């Protein structure tokens, strides 16, 4: 799917580089992060906050270690001077989540940048990613969600 773009002008090059990065990123090519992220980047998601490019590489190294396949389908990009919001659906197979069954998780990313991204925050439902996929806890969480 081709993402739609809403901005006063074309999306900054850094947004395109970020999108391309997440189509290629794997545990064995984390050096690709160097071309997109600033050395002092702050990265946040519902599970962690990391400071610095070295910590970001370590974090992604742990995340991608058991990933069998992953891709991001970008939907909407809203870009302005020095920042952008992107919506996406992550499609992933992970050996420790549902026996490698493909998971589809919608989310959004807010970035701030100059030449490189210096702030990156992901928004997604951590329960849908992890907790609902655990054998006992997942059953309990799904039951609670049905009642609410």
Tens-place pLDDT, residues 95-123: 766 666 788 899 999 999 999 999 999 99
| pLDDT at residue 101 in the model | 77
Nearest to 107 by CA among 138, 63, 76, 79: 76
Domain spans of the chain, in order of start: 4-147
Distance CA 64, CA 116 (A): 22
The answer, as to whether pTM is greater than 0.75, is: yes
Q: Does domain 4-147 have CATH number 3.90.1300.10?
A: no
* Torsion angle in degrees (nearest 10) through CA of 132, 137, 140, 145: -30
How far CA 11 is from CA of 50, 75, 86, 108, in Å, comes to 26, 14, 11, 16
Categorise residue 82: left if φ over 0, alpha if ψ from -120 to 50, beta otherwise.
left
| pLDDT at residue 9 in the model | 47
Tell whether the model's pLDDT for residue 4 goes beyond 90: no
């Amino acid at each position: 799917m081709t993402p739609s773009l809403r901005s006063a002008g074309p999306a900054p090059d850094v947004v395109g580089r970020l999108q391309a990065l997440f189509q290629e990123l794997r545990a064995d090519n984390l050096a690709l992060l160097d071309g997109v992220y600033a050395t002092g980047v702050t990265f946040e998601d519902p599970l962690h906050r990391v400071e610095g490019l070295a910590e970001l590489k370590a974090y992604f190294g742990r995340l991608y270690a058991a990933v069998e396949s992953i891709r991001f389908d970008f939907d909407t990009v809203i870009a302005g001077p020095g920042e952008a919001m992107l919506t996406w659906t992550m499609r992933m197979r992970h050996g420790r989540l549902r026996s490698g069954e493909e998971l589809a998780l919608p989310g959004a990313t807010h970035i701030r940048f100059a030449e490189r991204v210096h702030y990156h925050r992901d928004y997604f439902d951590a329960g849908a990613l992890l907790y609902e996929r655990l054998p006992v806890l997942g059953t309990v969480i799904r039951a609670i969600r049905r009642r609410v």
